[in-house]
Amino acid sequence: MPERSGPAAVLVGPPGAGKSSVATVLGQRTGLAVRDTDFDVERAAGRRISEIFTDLGEAEFRRLEREAVAAALAEHTGILALGGGAVMDPATRELLRAHRVAFLSVTMPNGVRRTGLSAARPLLTGVNPRATFKALLDARLPLYREVATIEVPTDEMSVEQVAQVIIAEWGL
């Protein structure tokens, strides 16, 4: 059998699902390197995500994100966390078909609670974050499920427990 290439695990899910925290713990438990495409985008643009949205606009952010995800899927062999909206891009969803993708799901109340009203998340800073989050979940749920190899419902789980499910699933 040919060697599997690409990341050992790719994490997708909405903001507040715990992708970054779970990726960090997965890195600690497995010794695998952790990469986060939000950081790759910030490095490429030379500014924070919130500044990319305000200075360059969401379309430019999504273009940078698509490139960052494609590069990371091709190069990275450890744990890869994607930004919450990366799955909206059809080319990204196509690329993800060849990979082990864990969808970390979260319901609206927990997602809103975990994200707070952080200015670092420009899409959730509107007047009604609960409605915004619900609309985001409704629109994206089918897309997360389309790319997911496994779904881990995180509402009642600790970061450590989510990481252990993924380790067990793929023998990491």
Among 44, 45, 123, 165, binds ligand S3P (CB under 6 A): 123
Q: Where are the alpha helices (DSSP H) in 32-158?
A: 37-45, 49-51, 58-75, 90-96, 108-115, 129-147
66 binds ligand S3P (CB under 6 A): no
The correct pick among 49, 102, 143, 166 for binding ligand S3P (CB under 6 A) is: 49
Is residue 7 involved in binding ligand S3P (CB under 6 A)? no
CA 78 – CA 74 distance, rounded (Å) = 11
Q: Using the rule CB under 6 A, is 83 a contact of ligand S3P? A: yes
**DSSP label at residue 82:** P
What are the backbone dihedrals phi and psi of residue 160, each rounded to the nearest 5 degrees, phi first?
A: -60, -45
Stretch that binds ligand S3P, among 2-10, 69-77, 94-102, 115-123 (CB under 6 A): 115-123
Instruction: Using CB under 6 A, list all residues that contact ligand S3P.
Output: 15, 19-20, 38, 49, 83-85, 121-123
